[in-house]
């Protein structure tokens, strides 16, 4: 699904109590990729792809002893230059992105975001520090960590 950042749509997030917040974050992500890379941001929602991407994300999160149990609703995974980029939007309102450079160990990180009023999921409490920041029209709680291990099971959508 091509994401139109000018017309925020909750499509794909209907089952989430946080569909509006997820839609705003997804639109902001789409806008950033268009402005920085002239790239149209697309997501998929097939069970096969969301499962494969969720498995990849959980493999990386395992570095911090974290497993996400929420259902992934929309995912996106693509490459820009030598960097594999993965986005996962979860039913509980959590958004995770992985930036994984194939050649530069210093350019590997995981970012986690939640809209400001969404409770931090139990599996993240006490494992990461979240700070609040404005993210183009919405206040989000965000955290990140650097990826230190090799991960070779990237799945492009």
CB atoms within 10 A of CB 154: 18
pLDDT in tens, 42-70: 999 887 888 888 899 999 999 999 999 99
Backbone angles phi, psi at 10, to 5 degrees: -90, 5
All residues at 6 or more sequence positions from 101 whose CB lies less than 8 Å from its CB, including other chains: 82, 83, 84, 107, 108
Q: How many residues does the chain have?
A: 157
Domain ranges of the chain: 19-146
Residue 8: pLDDT band by 50, 70, 90 thresholds? very high
Q: Residue range 81-104: average pLDDT?
A: 94
Q: Residue range 119-137: average pLDDT?
A: 90
Model confidence, pTM: 0.93
For the chain, percent of residues with pLDDT exceeding 70: 100
Q: Is 98 exposed, middle or buried (0-12, 13-18, 19+ CB in 10 A)?
A: buried
């Amino acid at each position: 699904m091509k994401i139109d950042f000018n017309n925020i749509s909750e499509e794909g997030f209907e089952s989430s109590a946080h569909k509006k917040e997820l839609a705003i974050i997804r639109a902001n992500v789409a806008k950033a990729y268009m402005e920085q890379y002239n790239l149209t941001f697309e997501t998929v929602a097939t069970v096969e792809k969301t499962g494969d991407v969720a498995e990849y994300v959980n493999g990386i999160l395992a570095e911090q002893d974290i497993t996400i149990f929420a259902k992934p609703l929309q995912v996106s995974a693509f490459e820009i230059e030598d960097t594999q980029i993965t986005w996962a939007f979860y039913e509980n309102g959590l958004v995770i992105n992985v930036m994984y450079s194939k050649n530069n160990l210093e350019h590997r990180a995981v970012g986690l975001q939640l809209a400001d009023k969404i409770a931090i999921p139990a599996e993240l409490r006490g494992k990461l520090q979240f700070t609040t920041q404005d993210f183009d029209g919405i206040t989000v709680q965000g955290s990140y960590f650097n990826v230190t291990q090799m991960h070779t099971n990237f799945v492009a959508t």
